[in-house]
Amino acid sequence: ALRQALALCTAQAYRNCTIPLNFTSVNGSLYVTNLSVRFTNAWWNISGFPSKNTYRVRVRARNQTSTSSFDASNANFAVASRCAALTANTTLYSDILSNQETCFAIQANGVTLDCGGHTILGNGTLGGVYGVAVHGYNRTVIKNCVFRNMSFALVLNTTANNTLSNNTIDSALSGITCWKTYNTMVSDNSVNSTLFGIAVAGAFNIIADNFVSSSLSGLHVQYTYNTTYADNYLYRNTDGIYLSNDSANNRFLRTTILRSTSSGISFRHFVHNNTFIGVNLTNNSVAVSARNTSLRNVIINATIARSGSYDFQVIDQANITLINVSFNLSRRLVSGTGKILA
């Protein structure tokens, strides 16, 4: 088997190992014997690899007469069973208990960490335990990870062109933090019991199909521009979406916000020109709250139902524009120079 052959190569300290695989070409199509092929990738069970080594996959295609060949390498990967600095694609093959300040520090461009559904468990110290931290490196992929009892589960800082997908985070100071982050996809993640569920500061990101519950703010948006939030489900947070600090020109599409104990959507500190389309605000204490000179924010095609205190709370020189939004006029609070424009 491939796993045993690679382990044997490592044990014998060979510089290079040749592992024969059977290929058959029929009418230009390539068939592989004893491997499961999914699109252009070969997948196999890597459980049991020596974890302290980095492996390189090399594929050599040769015709039947062996008169010519083609080498394709540059496919590095590593396997991990403990915290480490990562410079190559890595797959986790067991759960990890982390007592370090940072369990996995990404220290190269283009690194993929696939946890394969395994858990990184922190010690709960609120001052310093990071699950995965990326500082200054680009094109990072983090997927299929479970983080529990961390201070900061996933942190991106000064980076671009990343993907965070299918991760589960439970009990953290901050679930997913993207600071000075650009052109990054954050999708299909589940975040529960944090102060900040998904916190973003940057531009041109996509935050889609995430579930956030029981957090101080589900989506925490600050210093963020030209970012798209789509199909996110926010349940039982203090604030469903909290926008602040000059965040502008962001789009929120098809967002569901239920049972927020403070506000479904909260505009604070000079937030302007953000657009919400197709938002469902149900059973929130206040559906929409705007203050601190938050201007020209637009809500289109919204459903607002069963708010506890107010459907809208607009104060401190703030204004909101409503297009095709139904709400109860008796359940709005407008004070000072605040305005609801419809």
Residue 6: domain span: 2-75
Q: Are residues 179 and 39 in the same domain?
A: no
Q: Are residues 160 and 290 in the same domain?
A: yes
Give dist(CA 103, CA 77) in Å, integer: 18
* pLDDT given for residue 53 in this prediction: 47
- Under 8 Å between Cβ of 207 and 227: yes
What total number of domains does the chain contain? 2
- In this structure, what DSSP letter does residue 10 have? H
Q: Are residues 6 and 142 in the same domain?
A: no
Output the six-digit token pair for 135.
Answer: 């500082």
Exposed/middle/buried for residue 119 (C-beta within 10 Å: 0-12, 13-18, 19+): middle
In tens, the pLDDT along 227-237 reads 999 999 999 99
Give dist(CA 75, CA 148) in Å, integer: 31
Q: Are residues 41 and 163 in the same domain?
A: no
* pLDDT given for residue 23 in this prediction: 52
pLDDT band at 225 (very low <50, low <70, confident <90, very high): very high
In tens, the pLDDT along 165-182 reads 999 999 999 999 999 999
- Under 8 Å between Cβ of 231 and 206: no
* pLDDT given for residue 15 in this prediction: 43
Q: Are residues 94 and 44 in the same domain?
A: no
> Which residues, in sequence order, are bridge partners of residue 142?
113, 164
Q: What is the mean pLDDT of residues 281-290?
A: 96
* pLDDT given for residue 61 in this prediction: 46
Global confidence as pTM: 0.79
Pick the residue with more confidence: 103 or 17? 103
pLDDT band at 22 (very low <50, low <70, confident <90, very high): low
Question: Does residue 65 register a pLDDT over 60?
Answer: no
pLDDT band at 245 (very low <50, low <70, confident <90, very high): very high
pLDDT band at 70 (very low <50, low <70, confident <90, very high): very low
Last residue of a domain, one of 75, 94, 112: 75
CB neighbours of residue 27 within 10 Å: 4
DSSP sequence for 203-242: ES-EEES-EEESSSEEEEEES-BS-EEES-EEES-SEEEE
Q: Are residues 212 and 301 in the same domain?
A: yes
Question: Does residue 71 register a pLDDT over 50?
Answer: no
In tens, the pLDDT along 133-173 reads 999 999 999 999 999 999 999 999 999 999 999 999 999 99
CB neighbours of residue 308 within 10 Å: 14
Q: Are residues 133 and 246 in the same domain?
A: yes
* pLDDT given for residue 37 in this prediction: 34
Q: What is the mean pLDDT of residues 272-293?
A: 94
* pLDDT given for residue 93 in this prediction: 86
Under DSSP, is residue 187 helix (H, G, I), strand (E, B) or coil?
strand
Q: Are residues 231 and 285 in the same domain?
A: yes
In tens, the pLDDT along 194-223 reads 999 999 999 999 999 999 999 999 999 999
What does the mean pLDDT of the chain come to? Answer: 83
